[in-house]
Amino acid sequence: MIRARFRVAMLPAVVFLVSVAYAPMTGAQAPDLSKIEYRSEKLADNLQALFGGGGNIAVLTGPDGALVIDSDLVELSAKLRGVLAQVSDQPARFLVNTHFHFDHAGGNTTLGRGGTVIVAHDNVRKHLLTRQVVNVGVEIATEPTAREGLPVVTFAEGVRFHLNGEDVVVTHVANAHTDSDAFVFFQKANVLHTGDLFMSLGYPFVDAGNGGSLDGVIAAHEKALAMCNDATRIIPGHGAIVGKADLQAYHDMLVVTRKRIGDLVRKGRSLEQVLAAAPTREYDARWDQGFVKPEVFVQRIFIELGKPAKAGAKKG
């Protein structure tokens, strides 16, 4: 019953994500991906962010070859390859995927075929080896990735890169946005790429069907915030570049909202009662800008916190 309502109610919230690549499934108006032009934002002499059609990208350039974070949608991969050739006079030597989702790893095969070494958490490779389904209200399926698009170097906890005068720390966080997440910190530039552990334009999407959990997202923020200072610039998975205070505010919003919903779940309140209590009330003005609407965010936490299997593990 809840599942049925949940799935129907999710539909309006996923218009952005679905409309980018999967409009035919939903009847939504598809944006013309051929009209998307990459926009870049310089963060240091050798580091820039690229904004295309899916997840945000970071590119570290220099004589040692480019290091690219995330590869956008498959439909944009030829365009991405062109942009990378413009911003870097050296080949894209390494690609790191922040997680396996199709809007962050869609360009893997194109880059891999060009000789780029793909590096990611163990579970990114596991997911990309098989057909993947992401439930964003409708189920989005992605076929197994071709051999050249798979990570050839994988890690369990993290990995460090040392090139182009930069030290890059890649850190895995367990069961957060998915079960395959890592965030990337450029130490000298003082820039953090969070992948979808943080979206600066709105409420989070937690991919519970692929090992994600809100508590994991909250824990991931704590780990990432510990690396940041007031001068750190943060490239979110989606949305504009922000600072530490913005990630801290987002984190605090999640903690408060989770506690409110958790308290109501423990009191046996129904989804309707929890929604009526408006647990995100003071946050909507700021965070209701993205594709996850507040009621959908609340429903997802309600379902996650209400799962019987987690009853003994609840805290807060």
Residues that bind Zn ion (CB under 5 A): 101, 196
Do the Cβ atoms of 247 and 68 come closer than 8 Å? no
- Helix, strand or coil, per DSSP, at residue 68: strand
CB of 314 to Zn ion, least distance (A): 25
What is the length of the chain? 316
CB of 59 to Zn ion, least distance (A): 19
- Residue 119's alpha-carbon distances to 2, 100, 182, in angstroms, are 39, 11, 11
CB of 177 to Zn ion, least distance (A): 6
Query: 75 or 263, CB closer to Zn ion?
Result: 75
Query: 101 or 300, CB closer to Zn ion?
Result: 101
CA distance 117 to 299: 39
Query: 93 or 99, CB closer to Zn ion?
Result: 99
CB of 72 to Zn ion, least distance (A): 12
CB of 264 to Zn ion, least distance (A): 28
| Secondary structure (DSSP) of 142-153 | EPPPPGGGS-SE
| Token pair listed for 311 | 């009853």
Query: 189 or 192, CB closer to Zn ion?
Result: 192
Query: 101 or 233, CB closer to Zn ion?
Result: 101
- Residue 104's alpha-carbon distances to 54, 55, 107, 152, 186, in angstroms, are 7, 5, 8, 17, 19
Do the Cβ atoms of 284 and 260 come closer than 8 Å? no
CB of 209 to Zn ion, least distance (A): 12
E strand or H helix at 127? helix 122-129
CA distance 69 to 48: 11
Query: 237 or 306, CB closer to Zn ion?
Result: 237
Q: Rounded to 5 degrees, what are φ and ψ at 307?
A: -65, 125
